[in-house]
């Protein structure tokens, strides 16, 4: 474990912005994490947990404490094949039983897409639609990552966390995580201090991929005469998702970006009808009912619809490709903001607020950030 002094967060966030951390340290185990937290307490310094920094906008101000990056590794397939297991992964916490097909347990420091690739190589279905999402496994439950009709909550079994206040590990079930649209218990006051150690997901061996999302449905209906297009394999869906994302989203290797900066909109059925009257062609998607009491007379909806914000930013607000200095709206995916050069976090924040104001003026809707400000 190496503690580094005065480290620029711009080098550890995909937006390429941020001030200096007084101390920066990567921890490879729970024991190392406890040591750093104890040191921070003894020095009366704050700490912040930072994964791969792909869904954050770091302040331009310096952080006067410890920035801790969990690098706890290991991917455990409960079919008896164990890859990269270290002492922390096998220390006696909950594990899948041998032969319990489909359970995958990954350390928080694993790169998310590497884990997805491994599950696809084993023909385990459930994560293929979440291919190519940047970031670490530990960050995935915080955001309830989702794409192309699938969310992490659809497959998550449990999350192991360390509670600094109690100096103990805990297991949270999927229901304990209180998942919502890009939301979870980990964003609440009661859960934000918990540090994710491992994530367990239950996948389906040789399962049938979900290609109901429009982009995937269009991709696989391109050739009506091909049997492969009608029944794609898990690997073919992963390949399709990667290709679609490559075309639509800015490359984080080339530009500063956090992908989708804003959340899509969720409105009531009546609000949607009002908006559709003003903006003909406004698309929408049904929102799954939270519980049986939320069901309406429609039987399959809970009275809410999701509206793709990208459509509003493009068709209503005409913001595609808009740019101020080094920060702008991605031309191929308006939900994404891009740092084209040396934009500061303050400049990105101001630009995002201007976009919010324009949407509010044009539609009366208040939009929310998907990116976390730290």
Which residues does the annotation mark as catalytic? Answer: 182, 260, 370
- Asked if residue 137 lies in contact with residue 148, where contact means CB atoms within 8 angstroms, the answer is no
Provide CB contacts within 8 A for 95, sequence distance 6+. Answer: 76, 78, 105
Task: For tokens 């293929």, name the residue.
Answer: 128
DSSP tally for the chain: helices H, then strands E: 9, 23
What values do phi and psi take at 300, rounded to 5?
-125, 0
Closest CA to 330 of 246, 214, 219: 246
Closest CA to 165 of 352, 34, 340, 313: 34
Compute how many other C-beta atoms are within 10 angstroms of the C-beta atom of residue 191. 17
Closest CA to 137 of 222, 259, 243, 52: 52
Task: For tokens 């050739």, name the residue.
Answer: 223
- Asked if residue 72 lies in contact with residue 198, where contact means CB atoms within 8 angstroms, the answer is yes
Sheet containing strand 304-307, strands side by side: 265-268, 304-307, 285-286
Compute how many other C-beta atoms are within 10 angstroms of the C-beta atom of residue 311. 18
- Asked if residue 335 lies in contact with residue 309, where contact means CB atoms within 8 angstroms, the answer is yes
Closest CA to 132 of 282, 243, 56: 243
d(CA 371, CA 374): 10
Instruction: Please state the length of the chain.
Output: 374
DSSP codes, 34-66 = HHHHHHHHHTT--EEE-SS-SSEE--SSPEEEE
């Amino acid at each position: 474990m190496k503690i580094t002094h005065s480290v620029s967060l711009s080098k550890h966030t995909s937006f390429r912005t941020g001030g200096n951390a007084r101390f920066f340290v990567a921890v490879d185990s729970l024991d190392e994490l406890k040591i750093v937290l104890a040191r921070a307490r003894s020095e009366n310094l704050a700490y912040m947990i930072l994964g791969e920094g792909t869904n954050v906008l770091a302040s331009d101000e310096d952080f006067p404490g410890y920035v801790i990056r969990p690098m706890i590794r290991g991917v455990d397939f409960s079919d008896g094949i164990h890859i990269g297991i270290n002492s922390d992964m096998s220390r006696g916490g909950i594990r899948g039983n041998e032969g319990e097909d489909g359970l995958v347990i990954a350390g928080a420091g694993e790169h998310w897409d590497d884990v997805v690739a491994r599950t696809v190589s084993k023909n385990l279905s459930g994560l293929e639609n979440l291919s190519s999402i940047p970031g670490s496994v530990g960050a995935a439950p915080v955001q309830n990552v989702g794409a192309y009709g699938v969310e992490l909550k659809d497959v998550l079994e449990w999350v192991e966390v360390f509670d600094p206040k109690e100096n103990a590990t805990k297991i949270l079930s999927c229901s304990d995580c209180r998942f919502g649209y890009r939301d979870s218990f980990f964003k609440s006051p009661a859960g934000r201090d918990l540090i994710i150690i491992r994530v367990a997901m239950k996948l389906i061996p040789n399962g049938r991929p979900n290609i109901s999302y429009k982009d995937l449905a269009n991709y696989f209906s391109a050739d009506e005469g091909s049997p492969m297009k009608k029944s794609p394999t898990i690997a073919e869906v992963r390949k399709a998702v990667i290709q679609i994302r490559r075309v639509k989203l800015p490359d984080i290797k080339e530009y500063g970006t956090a992908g989708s900066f804003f959340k899509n909109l969720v409105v009531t059925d009546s609000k949607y009808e009002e908006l559709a009257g003003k903006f003909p062609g406004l698309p929408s998607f049904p929102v799954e009912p939270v519980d049986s009491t939320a069901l309406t007379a429609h039987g399959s909806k809970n009275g809410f619809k999701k509206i793709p914000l990208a459509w509003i930013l493009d068709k209503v607000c005409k913001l595609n490709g808009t740019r101020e200095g080094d920060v702008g709206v991605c031309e191929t995916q308006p939900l994404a903001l891009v740092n084209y050069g040396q934009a500061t976090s303050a400049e990105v924040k101001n630009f995002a607020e201007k976009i919010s104001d324009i949407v509010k003026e044009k539609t009366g809707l208040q939009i929310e950030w998907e990116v976390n400000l730290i």
